[in-house]
Amino acid sequence: MSGTIFYAEQEGKLFIRCLGRMASSLCYHLRERINERLSRKPRVEGLFVDLCACEYMDSTFLGLLVGFDKQLKREHGSRLSVVAPSAVSRQQLADLNLTEVLTILADPIPFPARLDPVSACHSPTPELLLKAHEQLMEVSEANRKKFGALESLLKKKLPSS
């Protein structure tokens, strides 16, 4: 099953619901939407990511979540909260030491009744892939070792400055 991401904003809070498999093809438009919202006022009070129906998350998606959390802390003084992660999602978060850096809420919280789908993009850019994996590598030395070769490969694909 492929994945679908839904998004809504309500009362200064951002909501993301993830259904199925979260892969890099879903990251580009999600990143653009969240970055656009974080770049303007009013202040964002929090970002809530519902993973109760998430079957899988690739490393690009996980790195995107870490990046959102850092950006929220830096620019808005708020945090990203993972809501009711499935057993598989919880394990994936733990495997990359993300349970140490992200807020995990065990129980569901109310989400807006209407959430809009975020479209997929079938080929994420090397820049997006690199940034997401750099976020993961900053979390732990184990992640640095795990993704170091990919980082080198992606840097070679970027245009020279």
pLDDT in tens, the chain (161 residues): 589 999 999 999 999 999 999 999 999 999 999 999 999 999 999 999 999 999 999 999 999 999 999 999 999 999 999 999 999 999 999 999 999 999 999 999 999 999 999 998 768 889 999 999 999 999 999 999 999 999 999 999 887 65
Contact present, 8 and 115 (Cβ < 8 Å): yes
Pairing state between β 4-10 and 116-118: antiparallel
| Residue 155 DSSP SS3 | helix
| Single pTM value for the model | 0.93
Question: What residue ranges define each of the domains in the chain, with the CATH number in brackets?
Answer: 4-122 (3.30.750.24)
Q: CA-to-CA distance for 16 and 51, rounded, in angstroms? A: 9
Q: What is the DSSP letter of 100?
A: G
